[in-house]
Amino acid sequence: MRIEGKAIKLGDNINTDFIISGRYKFAITDIKELAKHLMEDIDPNFTSKITFGKSVIAAGDNFGMGSSREQAPLVIKESGIAVILAKSFARIFYRNAFNIGLCLIETDTDKINESDMLDIDLDKGIIRNTTKDINLEIKPLPGFMQELLKEGGIINYLRKYKVLKV
């Protein structure tokens, strides 16, 4: 599985209230509307940087810390972010993201700058920063996790393979 996109750079400790401000978490229930407010407390112009399916968040340590609300990964996916690269992820955010089919990759993001073009090969475990002409190694995602991503999350996966009758 390959993903190509332009990097949007963020720092360390991006919590769920930065992802979607607490002032919206109960006021807006429509996920499409909520996605319009993604990261606005960090960067009011954040959503204007996103090209649907062709944007990659490159963050530091502890991305997704905070509450266990699934709104955080859902609004990121709804906004069109293809993948999140970070040095580390909060555990519950990591699990919630894969459950809904949002790809997360742990890697050293120090050599990725804002607007760098990235070509990510999940099978080979390589991120090619084509802007800087360098490769970053990543641990290849297990096949099962790639299947979850391809199916759009665990519920779709379970439906497809008739494990879940909903």
- For residue 166, is pLDDT > 80? no
Give the integer Cα–Cα distance in Å for 95 and 24: 23
Task: Give the pLDDT band of residue 159 (cuts 50, 70, 90).
Answer: confident
Domain that holds residue 112: 2-160
Torsion angle of alpha carbons 143, 146, 148, 153, nearest 10°?
160
Residue of higher predicted confidence among 69 and 45 = 45
Residue 121 belongs to a domain: yes
**Confidence (pLDDT) at 165:** 66
Q: Running DSSP on this structure, what letter comes out for residue 37? A: T
| Number of domains comprising the chain | 1
Torsion angle of alpha carbons 39, 42, 47, 49, nearest 10°?
-130
Model pTM score = 0.93
Give the integer Cα–Cα distance in Å for 126 and 117: 14
Closest listed residue to residue 59, CA positions, set 92, 90, 24, 23: 90
6 within 8 A of 115, measured Cβ to Cβ: yes
Averaged pLDDT for residues 47-60: 97
Task: Give the pLDDT band of residue 164 (cuts 50, 70, 90).
Answer: low
**Confidence (pLDDT) at 27:** 86
Per residue in 86-99, pLDDT tens? 999 999 999 999 99
**Confidence (pLDDT) at 101:** 95
Residue 166 belongs to a domain: no
Residue 165 belongs to a domain: no
CATH assignment of the domain containing 142:
3.20.19.10
- For residue 24, is pLDDT > 90? no
